[in-house]
């Protein structure tokens, strides 16, 4: 369907506000899902995590309330975490970007859920150093459903996809096999890396939630995205560690000892978002560069 400029603009504005609202909801998930004393649906009203005062509607408007309150709680005056406006803005920009590339349809629905899960995982891991299974496993299943409902050669790898179709495989099955292979490869390559590290160094080098997270990413982006995502995330983590050491926020590791633990989930999530938008371009550039 060809949209006129004005319709496209109206829809984009609508999608942006929809994204802000989803970001507001995701902030609730990020705060409540990993905590035992609250659930995502109870209490129904949002509250200040510091003084527990309930928030009225005017203190609950995405982005705007944070600006109007100058980043402080109306009741206790304590600063509101920068995470709230950041998550809202991120979710709005992701909605807009996925809408621009996918349009409205199953592609938008599935990829936006995937992106929301990645944002939630990143911020929960950053704050509490855990990656909730309750978030990762349902999203992984959604990845399998997505591969069947909107089959894509990108999950299987284009050459393998052509080969499977030529052998009479139906498109959904060819696509699903790429997603399942992605989940298995994602899980086992990090699981194996963690196992080798623990045996050689006698201490844990990776969080328990990291292998399932890479499995979730593999289920959505396909088997051949697993190594590039791992490579990009390691590169990002390395840059972040050097930046933190340089800024004096991270003590240097002593010889023979590990440094302070750093959550890997945010870097895997960021790398998966980079691959979601630029994976195809990076892959084509890489193959051209290698002369393949
Ligand atoms: Zn307060």
How far apart (Å, rounded) are the C-alpha atoms in residues 274 and 83?
20
Task: Specify whether 100 is located in the same domain as 131.
Answer: no
Distance between Cα 47 and ligand 1 center (Å): 8
Distance between Cα 77 and ligand 1 center (Å): 6
pLDDT (0 to 100) of residue 148? 97
Residue 268 near residue 217, CB atoms below 8 Å? yes
Using pLDDT thresholds of 50, 70 and 90, give the confidence band for residue 28.
Answer: very high
Distance between Cα 50 and ligand 1 center (Å): 5
Distance between Cα 73 and ligand 1 center (Å): 5
Residue 186, pLDDT above cutoff 60: yes
Using pLDDT thresholds of 50, 70 and 90, give the confidence band for residue 253.
Answer: low
Task: Specify whether 85 is located in the same domain as 182.
Answer: no
Domain boundary among 60, 81, 104: 104
Contacts of 279 (CB under 8 A, 6+ apart): 154, 221, 225, 228
Domain boundary among 53, 83, 104: 104
Domain holding 150, by residue range, is 105-292
Distance between Cα 287 and ligand 1 center (Å): 54
pLDDT digits (tens, 9 = 90+) for 130-170: 999 999 999 999 999 999 999 999 999 988 999 999 999 99
Task: Specify whether 65 is located in the same domain as 130.
Answer: no
Task: Specify whether 129 is located in the same domain as 74.
Answer: no
- What domain count does the chain have? 2
Task: Specify whether 98 is located in the same domain as 122.
Answer: no
Domain boundary among 64, 85, 104: 104
Residue 1, pLDDT above cutoff 60: no
Using pLDDT thresholds of 50, 70 and 90, give the confidence band for residue 257.
Answer: low
How far apart (Å, rounded) are the C-alpha atoms in residues 175 and 119?
25
Task: Specify whether 114 is located in the same domain as 70.
Answer: no
Task: Specify whether 127 is located in the same domain as 259.
Answer: yes
Task: Specify whether 173 is located in the same domain as 267.
Answer: yes
Using pLDDT thresholds of 50, 70 and 90, give the confidence band for residue 187.
Answer: very high
% of residues, the chain, pLDDT over 70: 96
pLDDT (0 to 100) of residue 203? 84
How far apart (Å, rounded) are the C-alpha atoms in residues 87 and 120?
9
Of 22-31, 36-45, 232-241, the range with the lowest mean pLDDT is 36-45
Task: Specify whether 188 is located in the same domain as 288.
Answer: yes
Distance between Cα 75 and ligand 1 center (Å): 5
Specify the pTM. Answer: 0.92
Distance between Cα 72 and ligand 1 center (Å): 8
Q: Which residues, chain by chain, have CB under 5 Å from ion ligand 1? A: 48, 50-51, 73, 75-76
Task: Specify whether 50 is located in the same domain as 129.
Answer: no
pLDDT (0 to 100) of residue 256? 60
Distance between Cα 8 and ligand 1 center (Å): 40
Residue 238, pLDDT above cutoff 60: yes
Task: Specify whether 173 is located in the same domain as 47.
Answer: no
Distance between Cα 46 and ligand 1 center (Å): 11
Task: Specify whether 190 is located in the same domain as 73.
Answer: no
Distance between Cα 201 and ligand 1 center (Å): 45
HSE-up of 1 (CA within 13 Å, CB side)? 9
pLDDT, mean of residues 183-211: 91
Residue 211, pLDDT above cutoff 90: yes
Contacts of 68 (CB under 8 A, 6+ apart): 58
Q: Pick the more confident residue, 139 or 208.
A: 139
Which of 95, 122, 110 has the alpha carbon at shortest distance from 147?
110
Using pLDDT thresholds of 50, 70 and 90, give the confidence band for residue 258.
Answer: low
Q: How many CB atoms lie within 10 A of CB 137?
A: 13
Q: Mean pLDDT in the chain? A: 92
């Amino acid at each position: 369907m060809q949209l006129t400029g004005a319709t496209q603009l109206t829809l984009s504005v609508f999608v942006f506000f929809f994204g802000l609202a989803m970001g507001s909801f995701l902030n609730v998930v990020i705060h409540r899902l990993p905590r035992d004393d609250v659930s995502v649906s109870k209490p129904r009203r949002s509250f200040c995590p510091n003084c527990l005062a309930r928030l009225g509607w005017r203190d609950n408007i995405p982005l705007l309330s944070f600006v109007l309150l100058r980043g402080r709680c109306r009741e206790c005056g304590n600063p509101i975490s920068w995470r709230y406006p950041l998550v809202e803005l991120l979710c709005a920009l992701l909605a807009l970007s996925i809408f621009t590339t996918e349009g409205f349809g199953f592609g938008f629905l599935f990829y936006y859920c995937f992106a929301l899960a990645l944002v939630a995982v990143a911020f929960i891991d950053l704050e509490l150093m855990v990656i909730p299974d309750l978030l990762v496993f349902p999203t992984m299943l959604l990845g399998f459903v997505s591969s069947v409902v909107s089959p894509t050669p990108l999950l299987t790898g284009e050459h393998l996809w052509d080969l499977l179709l030529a052998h009479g495989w139906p498109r959904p099955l060819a696509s699903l096999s790429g997603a399942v292979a992605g989940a298995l490869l994602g899980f086992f390559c990090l699981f194996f890396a963690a196992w080798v590290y623990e045996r050689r160094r006698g201490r844990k080098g990776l969080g328990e939630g990291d292998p399932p997270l890479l499995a979730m990413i593999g289920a959505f982006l396909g088997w051949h995205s697993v190594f590039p995502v791992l490579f990009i995330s390691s590169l990002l983590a390395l840059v972040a560690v050097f930046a933190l050491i340089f800024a004096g926020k991270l003590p240097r590791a002593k010889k023979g000892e590990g440094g302070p633990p750093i959550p890997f989930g945010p870097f895997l999530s960021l790398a998966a978002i980079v691959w979601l938008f630029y994976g195809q371009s990076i892959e084509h550039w890489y193959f051209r560069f290698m002369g393949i």
